[in-house]
Structures are given as structure tokens and as C-alpha cells.
């Protein structure tokens, strides 16, 4: 049985621990300058075994994709700690201003990090990697994802965002004057993040495209090509992408095998 000193409790319509004057809007107020509030800690299996969890129930998961999870609408969802992604409005759309950099799906499940090239090329499920398996590329260029991660029903995009369809990419390029000039209006300028010549780059749209390269069975194109997935598949083996190169200002459309690893930008819901 828990015991609290009578001086620390206010027994009325609300309760205070560490204070005799709990706020009237709080059923329970804890006050301390030396201690925190500790929620139950448990494994994912223990969390899943909770019988009939109440809406809004909160726990801290100690294994897997560890962190705080809350129960709502029949699903346990992880409270993510990363800061919201900055966005830029271009015509009627809002796009992420940087390449995606997450290691969990929207529901908190971990996305596998795969470094082995033979395993990577044989995948038919979601995965991510750093370019050249080198974490130092991450701060500038973000992570590379295969299309299976893009299409995973658990959601690769953070809350409030979604993966752009081929039609949404077309809407963007038309808004920027067509595919022949849209790429230049989307590219970060200069030759710090892009290799020379970075031709026709103005970034007048604010999209701030970065050349994160591509993973096949090897890694290629870092600093010279910005490849970006769409959510629209061509067939069972390939999906539509867009790309911009250092050699000109076009935004080109092509298709890639779904196991390729390339960058991701999301669009606001």
C-alpha cells in the first residue's frame, strides 16, 4: 500500500502530492523540484497482454522501438520524440523541406536497418540504410528507403504527412512551370551539398532538394542525383520516381525497382 504524508495530500475533489493546493483543473497534481513522474515500464509483449486497455492508457516500452506508448482507438501508438519536420508551401501543396530521417513507422514499429547488399537486393519488405552504410551522411542527406517501406500500411510518413503520389509530383512540377525547369527551382544552390556544376539551381520554390544518391547492390550518385520515391507503383516490380541531377534544371520521371534505396519527401495531409 502506498503511503503519502498527510501534509502532502489535499483530500477534496482533486488530489495533490507535494502540494497542499492542487490546481482546480487537475484531478491529480504532482509537485517536485527533485523527482519526476514514473509511468509503468514493460516489454512490448507485456504491453500487448494488458487486458482491455483503457483509452489513453500510457506506458513506457523497454524493448524493441522503446519509448512512451499510448492506447487510442484500439491501437498502441508511440509518442515520437523527434521535432516536427519543417514544411514549405508551393502553390497549393506543403512539402517537407528536408529528406525523411525516421527509423520507425508511424505506429512505432522499428523499420529494419539493413547493411548487407545481398540481403538488401532480395528484400520484399521495408528497410532503410545510410548512404554507403555511413552514418555521417545522415545529417545532410537523410536516410535511404526501399519502396516497400514507402508502401507499408503502418505508415512511413510522420503524423500529418503522407507519401506523394505520382499525380502529386506532377502537380508540383506543373506548378513550377513544367518538368523542364522545375528541378532548378527545387535544388539547393551552390556546390557544397551538390557536386559541380549544379546547373540552373535557384531553389526559388524553397523545396531545397538534396542529392542523397541511390542504393542498388552498390551505392551511387551521392551529391550528383536527387532521387525521390512516389507512392504510385508501375507494376509488381517497379514504382514511379522523380529525379534531379547536378547537370541541369529538369525534374525527370522514371521508374525504379522497388528494392532500390532512395530518398523520401512527404507532402502534408
Domain ranges of the chain: 1-37, 39-79, 87-268
* Percent of the chain whose pLDDT exceeds 90: 69
pTM (2 decimals)?
0.71
pLDDT higher than threshold 50 for residue 1: no
Confidence bin at 232 (pLDDT 50/70/90): very high
Average pLDDT on 192-219 reads 97
Report the range of poorest mean pLDDT among 17-26, 81-90, 184-193, 239-248. Answer: 81-90
Per the listing, cell 523497454 goes with: 62
Q: Say what the pLDDT of residue 64 is.
A: 67
Record the cell numbers describing residue 225, joined without a space. 542525383
Q: Say what the pLDDT of residue 65 is.
A: 64
Q: Say what the pLDDT of residue 80 is.
A: 59
Report the range of poorest mean pLDDT among 1-15, 29-43, 168-182. Answer: 1-15
State the DSSP string of the chain: -----GGG---SSSEEES-SS--TT-SEEE--SS------EE-HHHHHT-SSPPTT-EEEE-SSS-EEEEEETTEEEE---SPPPPEEEETTEEEESS----SB-TTSPBPPB---HHHHHT--S--EE-GGG-GGGHHHH--EE-HHHHT-TT-SSPTTEEPPPHHHHHHHHHHTT-HHHHHHHHBPPSSSSS-TT-TT---TTS--B--EEEESSSEEEETTEEEEEEEEESSSSEEEEEEEETT-S--EEEEEETT-BBB---EE-
In angstroms, the CA 61 to CA 232 distance is: 34
Do the strands 238-245 and 87-90 form a parallel or antiparallel pair, or are they unpaired?
A: unpaired
Confidence bin at 84 (pLDDT 50/70/90): low
Q: Say what the pLDDT of residue 60 is.
A: 87
Q: Which residues contact 250 (CB under 8 A, 6 or more apart)?
A: 179, 180, 181, 182, 183, 184, 244
Q: Say what the pLDDT of residue 251 is.
A: 98
Phi, psi for 172 (deg, rounded to 5): -65, -50
Top pLDDT among 7 and 19 is at 19
Q: Say what the pLDDT of residue 19 is.
A: 83
Q: Say what the pLDDT of residue 6 is.
A: 46
Q: Say what the pLDDT of residue 152 is.
A: 97
pLDDT in tens, 99-122: 999 999 988 899 999 999 999 999
Report the range of poorest mean pLDDT among 84-93, 96-105, 243-252. Answer: 84-93
Average pLDDT on 187-197 reads 97
pLDDT in tens, 150-168: 999 999 998 889 999 999 9
In angstroms, the CA 9 to CA 141 distance is: 53
Average pLDDT on 187-203 reads 97
Average pLDDT on 170-189 reads 97
pLDDT higher than threshold 70 for residue 52: yes
Amino acid at each position: 500500500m502506498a503511503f503519502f504524508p498527510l501534509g502532502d495530500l489535499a483530500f477534496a475533489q482533486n488530489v495533490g502530492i507535494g502540494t497542499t493546493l492542487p490546481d482546480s483543473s487537475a484531478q491529480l497534481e504532482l509537485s517536485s523540484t527533485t523527482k519526476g513522474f514514473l509511468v509503468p515500464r514493460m516489454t512490448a509483449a507485456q504491453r500487448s497482454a494488458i487486458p482491455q486497455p483503457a483509452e489513453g492508457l500510457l506506458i513506457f516500452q523497454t524493448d524493441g522501438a522503446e519509448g512512451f506508448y499510448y492506447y487510442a482507438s484500439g491501437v498502441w501508438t508511440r509518442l515520437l520524440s523527434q521535432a516536427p519536420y519543417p514544411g514549405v508551401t508551393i502553390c497549393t501543396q506543403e512539402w517537407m523541406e528536408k529528406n525523411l530521417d525516421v527509423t520507425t513507422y508511424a505506429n512505432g514499429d522499428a523499420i529494419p536497418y539493413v547493411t548487407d547488399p545481398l540481403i538488401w537486393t532480395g528484400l520484399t519488405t521495408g528497410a532503410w540504410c545510410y548512404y554507403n552504410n555511413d552514418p555521417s551522411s545522415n545529417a545532410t542527406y537523410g536516410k535511404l528507403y526501399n519502396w516497400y517501406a514507402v508502401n507499408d500500411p503502418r505508415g512511413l510518413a510522420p503524423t500529418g504527412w503522407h507519401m506523394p503520389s505520382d499525380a502529386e509530383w506532377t502537380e508540383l512540377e506543373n506548378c513550377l512551370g513544367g518538368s523542364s525547369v522545375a528541378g532548378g527551382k527545387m535544388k539547393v544552390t551552390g556546390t557544397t551539398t551538390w557536386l559541380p556544376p549544379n546547373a540552373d539551381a535557384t531553389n526559388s520554390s524553397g523545396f531545397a532538394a538534396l542529392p542523397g544518391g541511390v542504393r542498388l547492390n552498390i551505392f551511387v550518385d551521392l551529391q550528383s542525383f536527387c532521387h525521390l520515391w512516389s507512392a504510385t507503383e508501375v507494376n509488381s516490380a517497379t514504382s514511379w520516381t522523380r529525379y534531379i541531377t547536378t547537370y541541369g534544371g529538369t525534374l525527370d520521371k522514371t521508374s525504379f525497382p522497388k528494392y532500390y534505396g532512395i530518398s523520401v519527401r512527404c507532402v502534408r495531409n
